[in-house]
Structure 1
Amino acid sequence: MAESDQPPPRARVRVTSPHTTLRPHRRRTVVQEIDEETEIGEVYMRSLIRSQLRLALIVSVVVALLVGGLPILFVLVDLDALQVGPVPLPWWILGAAVYPVLFVIGWVFVAASERNERAFSDLVERP
């Protein structure tokens, strides 16, 4: 076969997906994911809510056991017989000693809750 009998060479054609030309791939930040309420944003929000709920349930159980366990303690130890001045000891415990304990538990709860939120905001603000 002679060289003149060959067809002329074709120009190369580049085949691309139509999806790549419509919108370029851009990486969204976590804040955008949360604001646009995407599935990934919902996962982030659920993780924050779950951690805060877990903390609240732990604190609730601790308070219920401490305050709810006092009557059992009073019955088992028979603290009614002990008196501080004219007032029985259980009244002093319920009237004065419980409140500093509740204050400390509340302070620990707020600190732990802020730590959870700080960790979440650090995660969200990460590039």
Structure 2
Amino acid sequence: MSTPEGPRRVRVTSPRTSAARRPPAPTGTREIDEQTRLGEIYMHSLVQSQLRLTLAVIAGVLVILGSIPLLFWLVPPTRTLLVLGLPLPWVILGILVYPVVYVAARIYVRQAERIETEFTEFVGRQ
């Protein structure tokens, strides 16, 4: 009995396998991964940008919320003013503070994402 021969196997290779390989171009992400001096500078830049944003948002919130006691001190009738049957200080501290904090948080998140996107695009181009 003879065994039937199946289809012959063919090995497919790329025509460029024998071509000289170029070393990969240095990128910013590689600099960061390898913790080179340039990578440290990139990361320091990112951290500084995030720190500036954080301090700006905190300062803005402190100015807005810090002005509430100043308002009550400079304008004494506001301490006893009623709004919808509630004292104005309660309305401000119990209700109006939350939208201020929410808006500050939204601003922070949007700007932090923008900073990270710009950083990623910049490092990817390097």
TM-score band, normalised by shorter chain: 0.7 to 0.9
- Structure 1 unpaired stretches of 5+: 1-24
Query: What CA distance in whole angstroms lies between the structure 2 residues aligned with 1:73 and 1:101?
Result: 16
1:96-107 equivalences in 2 (<5 Å): 96-107=95-106
Deviations 1:25-82 (A, max 9, x none): 9741111110010000000000000000000001111111111121011111120121
Percent identity reads 46
TM-score computed with the length of structure 1 as normaliser: 0.76
**C-alpha distance in 2, partners of 1:81/1:31?**
59
| Counterparts of residues 4-83 of structure 1 (less than 5 Å) | 27-78=25-76, 79-83=78-82
RMSD across aligned positions (CA): 1.8
Taking the aligned partners of 2:39 and 2:111, their CA distance within structure 1 comes to 23
Cα shift at 1:85: 4.1
**Larger relative contact order (Cα-Cα within 8 Å, sequence gap ≥ 6):** 2
* Partner Cα separation in structure 1 for residue 25 and residue 88 of structure 2: 65
- What's the secondary structure of 1:91's corresponding residue? helix
If the length of structure 2 is used for normalisation, what is the TM-score? 0.76
Larger radius of gyration: 1
* Bigger mean CA deviation after superposition, 93-102 or 113-122: 93-102
CA contact 2:61–2:100 (8 Å) conserved in 1? no
Q: List alignment gaps of at least 5 residues for structure 2.
A: 1-22
